[in-house]
Each structure stands twice: as structure tokens, then as C-alpha cells.
A and B are shown apart, each in its own frame.
Chain A
Amino acid sequence: MSFDLNFIGILIGAIMASSVPLILAASGELITERSGVLNLGVEGMMIIGAISGFALMVITDNLFFAVLGSMISGLIISIIFGVLTQSLLTNHVATGLALTIFGIGMSAMIGKNFVGIPGKEFPLLFVNLKENIPFLGPIIFGHSVILYFAFLLPFLTNYFLRKTKIGLIIRAVGDSPTSASNQGINVTLVRYSCILYGGAMCGLAGAYLSLIYTPQWIENMTGGRGWIALALVVFATWSPIKVLIGALIFGGITILQLHMQAVGLRIPVQLLSALPYIMTIIVLVVISRDSRKIKLNTPTSLGQIFYKEK
């Protein structure tokens, strides 16, 4: 019995690990979208984060620089998006799509020299406790510092948006940039900051993949997680806590259906592979039905170009 419990614990630990990149990227994008900016470049920023994190790890042999570098490179690539959409007033959707395509191509180019190089072991915390406490051990302990950060992030984001002045300003800008500007708020600055923050979080999400989750570089290794993160934000109706729930469901069903495939259930593999996507959407739609709350949480100006009257 204790073996079974421990196995479930390990399974939950694995589920948590697999949802980390989604939580990080979606939390970042949530802030960006709350300011009224729709950045569809999440996938691109993630993969740039993944390759630069891995490359820096190989070059400097220092994981701290690797993680920091991945965030900075996610941030830098988001500057491109910021300049285009906020200063040159290009369309958010088209620019975001271009950013993703650019990111994937760019990462493949840089990544050529890093294929097949083994990754470095990332330090995990409280490994003793993980092995000595049955069931709860593998759930709570033995993870990387980034995982703990990721699971705190939705709560921090929620607090930040609801309780702090800057959070209030971001929501105000997302609601009505014109009113905000007339109130003396520098809309462009707020939106730039949110874009850069989103970029850094996506970069970190990428680094988690290439440094911790599957420590190596594979072309296209984000595998659509950026798009899932984007969808999570919308289906979670811009609520950080629901993003966390959605990411866990998605990660959970992804892992479970792998096990089901391994067991050899007589369900078509394609259907099993589609299951995480379907279930996540269903659950999030069900928990986000309150139309009043949707109206209050949706950034009214999402995707709208703002320019200041001179």
C-alpha cells in the first residue's frame, strides 16, 4: 500500500513539473494581456529562452547565468514586439505571429551547434526529505527552485493585480488606455513594462524546458506549449489562480494519458493525445461561467492599438 501511495506521489510530482513552463509563460502573458496587449509570440519567446539558456549553460558552465540569460533573451526579443506594436503601432496579432515564427527559426539556427550535447544536472532542493517521506515527499520536496517559484507566481500575480497600485494601473490601462492617458498615466510605458515582463517569464519557461525538464537542446522543443499557455490565459478568463488550475489539469492529463498509452488501453492513441487539450478547455469553461466576472476580468482594450493625442 505504501508503495502505491508513493507511486501516486511521484506521479503528482511529475505532473507538477510538467505544468511549470505553462504556469510561467501563462502568468507572464496574463500580465501583458491585462495591460491590453495581445502578444501571440509566447511560443517564440519561450523557444528563444530555451536555446539561450542551454547555450549559455554550455558556454559558461554556470546554471545561474544560464537561467538569467534565458530571461534576458526572452526580454530582448519581446522588446522587438514592444517597439513594433507600441512605438510603430503595428497590429498586435500579426506582430505576435511574426515573433513566434522568428523565434522558432532563430532558435533552430543558434541551436545547430548544440544538438546532442548533454545537459548539466540542475540542483534539486530537499532531496533527502523527498526520499524519506512517503507520498507527500515526492510531491512537496525534491524540486528545482524554479518550480517553487512557478507555483508561487499565480498567487503573487493575483495579489499584485488586485492589491497593489501598479496592478491597479495595469488593469486600468487594459480597461481604457485613453482614460488612463487622460489621468496622466504613461500608457506606453506601462504597456512596454508588461510586454518585457511577459517576455522574461516566457524566457524562463523555455529555460525550464531545456535546463531542467528535458536537459538538452532539441529543435522545436517547446512543442506548442506557448500556444497552450496563450489559450490557458483566455480560458482562465485572465485569472491567475485559474491559470494554475488549468496548467495542472493540462500537465496532469498529459502525464496520465502517457501512462494509459503505456498500459495499452484499447483507446486510439490519437484520442488519448488529444485528451489534455479537450479536458483543459472543458474544465476551464465550466469553472469560468460567471458572465459578470468574465466581463470584469477581460481587458476591454485587448489588442487595441493606442496612440496619444498630440
Chain B
Amino acid sequence: MNTKLRVSEISKIYPGCVANDGISLEFGSGKIYALLGENGAGKSTLVKILSGVVRPDKGEVFLNDKSIKLNSPLDAKKNNIGMVFQHFNLFETLSVFENLSIDSDKKNEDLRLSVNNILKKYNFKIDLDIPVLNLSAGQKQKVEIIRCLIRNPKVLIMDEPTSVLTEQETEDLFVSLKQFSDEGILIIYITHKLKEVLSLCDEVAVMRKGKIVSVSKTKEEKIETLANKMVGENLSSIKKKINNFKYSEEILKISNLNFRSDDPYETNLINLNFSLKKGECLGIAGISGNGQSELFQILSGEIITDYTSIKFRDKEISKLNPRERREYLMAFSPEDRISQAAVPELKIYENVALNNFKSSNFFEKGLVNEKKIKEHSKKILSNFSVNTDNVEMKSQFLSGGNLQKLIIGRELITSPELLVCFNPTWGLDVGAINYIHETLININEKGKSSILISTDNDELLKLSDRICVIYKGKLSKIMYVNEVTPEKLGILMGGGSID
């Protein structure tokens, strides 16, 4: 069965922004196509048009040379176009199985059978009867993929599917995707990760500012050529100076960190001990759901545990809340930008004000000092090259990269001694990742310390001075970055041991 998908002269204009400008592309089954572009390049709009969520102002979509109308997601489903969205389209309070059954016409027993077959076939491990809100980001993504597979799609569109997966999971996913492709499913793979394009895809179309700027075979491309096409300028590559910090002063010492949760879906942390020197970056690797989020919350003071000792600049801070910890010059950038780090419905300056503590003087006698907050916010926007100078703008209109710059900027503008960040470049495009990486290296060079909890091994190897791996709530031994290889990390992340 051969599938041919063609989009012709697709245009979509939003107020103040041309999202898609006369896009024409052709896809055929048996190949994996990459749609590459930075955030805001118009990939998501094109994908939403193909999945029936958004209607184009102009243009047509042809499936096997027949013009198809995609007025609603149902039309896309009817035409066997499956779609895995970047932002999960799941119902958090419903169980995994309920999520899958909601748009299925099958009987529950039949559905369970076919879901179990898919789980087995692709080696996914997910409990079908727990609520989705208890799943890790990686597992949620799998639920989305399963949801598409149930419907035997002809076309499968994957919107940034690996942003939450570990390297091993990504490899597994690629194997599955190649298998789907061999089975005759046409795969359109949207990403901004250049390495993935080269290792997975057969052809690549690059989008910039709503237009297709190039279509080529991936064999003929290299990372640099693709990056330059995507960004439209030459990117500088950054590198970190290696340092061993033998004689630096210790700034943070964690001993006896234990965390037991009654919630069976949280991970218990077992006897974590580590310390951090001034100017050092400690990387913590691991597959998502192995205790990273609990560790982050304990470091930030969202969770207070008994008996744990956290000594920061010679003061015991383990019983302090996040605000008090900020007074001691700690700073935190959580994993989920939209629901943890910022309130999307609030304006930029209001989000900045949320991070207040006593010395910030944002509030006087119980009143909001708006002028001061706005000035402070403007400074963040310009110092951290956020793509706007309008502090009155609602944060939800910032792209992921700009929102992350705002969040990191908000934390760093007070020159903290320690920054703890959790997946800081999750789902960002190359330009933004580059910027965030530069910023993180920069703070180490200024003699400030950082803890980087991340599921992205490239990022960890690039930014950390020392690295350890968290697995099922336990930390591996801490290694200097020059002793670490991706293979070693992979073994430790899977629960194995080295040497």
C-alpha cells in the first residue's frame, strides 16, 4: 500500500504573523521525512493544519492525489492521519486506558487486547490503569504514540517526539519508527534536533519564518549545513574550559538525603550525599522518573524532609522554604516552564514579581511597586535577550525559548551563588539552546555554581564539570566529565554498573 501526501500552496495568517506562507511539499510512504525549523518557524501550524486542528486560509491537502478536507481532527482520523502532539493532548485525571478508549470505537476488551499487543511489540512499559498525571513525561509521550498506533495510521506525524525521551528510549523509538516506515506508514518527523534528522530521516525540508527554505536528501547534508539553513546565519560553537576545582571552596554539602513518599507514583530517594564547589557545575543524568523531580523539589525547598542536612555556604538550610532559600542566594529553574516556573496567564512583569523576596523591594507596605518591578523586568528582557521589550505582554505568548530565557534571567539577575536547573532546554530550538548553554557556562566562569539535572546527555557532557547518574532514587558515584563517555552514562542510566 502506497501512500502519497501532498500539500499545495498552504497559507495561514495570524494577526501580526504569517505562520505559513505558500507551503508546498510532497511525501511518499516508505520514507521518513524531517520537517526542520526553529520554534516559531511555522512547523506547528503546518502540522495543526494536517491534523485538522487549524484550517488554512489558502491551499489544499492531497492524499493519494485526492483533495481531502481537514476541517476537524475527526477528518484527519477518518483519513488515517495520526498525530503525536508536542504538548500532550492527554486527560491528566483519567486513567491511561480511559485516555486511549475515548476516541476508539472498539469494545473495551478488544481495545485492551490491541493496546497490550502494541505494548509488547514495541516494548513499552506502562500501567494502563493509573491516572495519566502519575506518568513521567516520557511515558505520557508513549501513551500518545499508542493512541495513534491503535488506529492503524497511513500517515504518522510526530511533533518533537524525543524532547522528553532519554537516549536509549530515543534509539528504541527510532527503531520503531523505521519499522512503521517499513510497514508502509508515511512518517513526517518534526524536530529542531539536527542529529536526529541525520540519523533517522531520509529527506529533510527546512522551514524558516513560515516558508520552506530547502528540501534535500539527508545524505547530502551535515549538521552545520542544516543548522545554518535553519537559523539563517552562522552559529558559534561553544565550549567549556575544563577545571578540576581541587582547591576551590565547598559551597554546598548534602548529606543523608532520604525521601519516602506515600504516593506510590513518586520515587523514593535513598541516602543521597554529594557536595559542590564554588564555580562548579554538577550534572545529574538519568531517565526521567528516577527521582529527579523529587530531588529538585527537595533542593528548592518545595519538599522538606526530616533528617536531611543541606549546608549551603556553611548555613543549614534544609528546613527553609523556597523563598527563604532565595534570600541565601540560591536560584531555581524547574522542569515545567508553563505550570511550575511561570503562570502563563500573567503578564511578564507579574511573573517576575512572583519571584520576589525581601531584598527585592517589589512590595512596600503591602502594596505592589509596579514601577520598580517593570524596570527590573525590562532589565531582564534586555540582559537575557528575550525577544520582546513589552513587559505588559502575557507570558503565554512567549515562545518556549523566550520564556525559558525570561525564567533563567529572572533567577540570575540577582546574581545567585547557586543555580539549580532541571531540563533547562527541554523542547527548545537550537538558537535558544545555544543561548541557555552559553549562559550556564558563563555563570560557572563567574565563579558561581550550578546543579544541572537533565535527561539530555549531550547537554550534560557539554556543561558539567562532574557528572553522576540517578537511578531508582539512588546516585551513582560522581565522576569528572573527562572520565565519562555516553556509553558509561547509558549503562548507569539503565541500572548497570561500571568498573
Contact = CB atoms under 8 A, between A and B. Distances in A.
Contacts of A289: none
Contacts, number: 63
Interface stretch (A119-127, A147-155, A165-173, A213-221): A165-173
Given A182-B73, A184-B77, A309-B53, A168 B94 contact: yes
Nearest to B77: A184
Contacts of B442: none
A175 B73 CA distance: 19
Nearest to B52: A184
Given A176-B92, A182-B85, A310 B103 contact: no
B73 A172 contact: no
A178 B91 CA distance: 10
Given A292-B263, A309-B54, A310-B55, A171 B91 contact: yes
Contact of B74 (A172, A175, A184, A310): A184
A182 B89 contact: yes
Contact of B94 (A171, A184, A295): A171
Interface in A159-198: 165, 168-169, 171-172, 175-176, 178-185
Contacts of A181: 53, 73
Contacts of A310: 54-55
Contacts of B51: 182
A295 B133 contact: yes
Contacts of A179: 88-91
Contacts of B102: 165, 168-169, 172, 183, 185
B75 to A, nearest CB: 8
Given A169-B102, A310-B54, A310-B55, A183 B89 contact: yes
Interface in A289-303: 292, 295-298, 300
Contacts of B94: 168, 171-172, 175
A176 B103 CA distance: 14
Contacts of B103: 183-185
Interface residues of B, number: 25
A180 B74 CA distance: 11
B72 A184 contact: yes
A185 to B, nearest CB: 8
Q: Which of A175, A176, A184, A295 has the most CB of B within 10 A?
A: A184
Interface string B396-416: 000000000000000000000
Interface string A52-78: 000000000000000000000000000
A184 B98 contact: no
Contact of A300 (B72, B92, B98): B92
Interface string B461-487: 000000000000000000000000000
Contacts of B93: 171, 175, 295-298, 300
A175 B90 CA distance: 9
B101 interface: yes
A165 to B, nearest CB: 8
B431 interface: no
Contacts of B495: none
A300 to B, nearest CB: 6
A179 B86 CA distance: 12
B131 interface: yes
Interface string B56-99: 00000000000000001110010000000100111111100010
A251 B90 CA distance: 40
Interface in B326-356: none
Contacts of B98: 168, 171-172
Interface in B39-53: 48, 51-53
A310 B131 CA distance: 31
A295 B94 CA distance: 11
Contacts of A295: 93, 133
Interface in A222-258: none
B13 to A, nearest CB: 12
B72 A172 contact: no
A176 B102 CA distance: 13
Contacts of B89: 176, 178-179, 182-183
Contacts of A168: 94, 98, 101-102
Nearest to B101: A168
B92 A182 contact: no
B130 to A, nearest CB: 10
Nearest to B134: A292
A172 B89 CA distance: 11
A181 B93 CA distance: 17
Contacts of A297: 93
A300 B90 CA distance: 12
A183 B75 CA distance: 11
Interface in B371-400: none
Interface string B132-170: 010000000000000000000000000000000000000
Contacts of A165: 101-102
Nearest to B103: A183
Counting from the closest, the 4 A-B pairs by CB-CB distance are: A184-B74, A184-B73, A179-B89, A175-B91
Interface of A: 165, 168-169, 171-172, 175-176, 178-185, 292, 295-298, 300, 309-310
Interface of B: 48, 51-55, 72-74, 77, 85, 88-94, 98, 101-103, 131, 133, 263
16 contacts: A168-B94, A171-B93, A175-B92, A175-B93, A179-B90, A182-B73, A182-B85, A182-B89, A183-B73, A183-B89, A183-B103, A184-B72, A184-B73, A184-B74, A184-B77, A309-B54
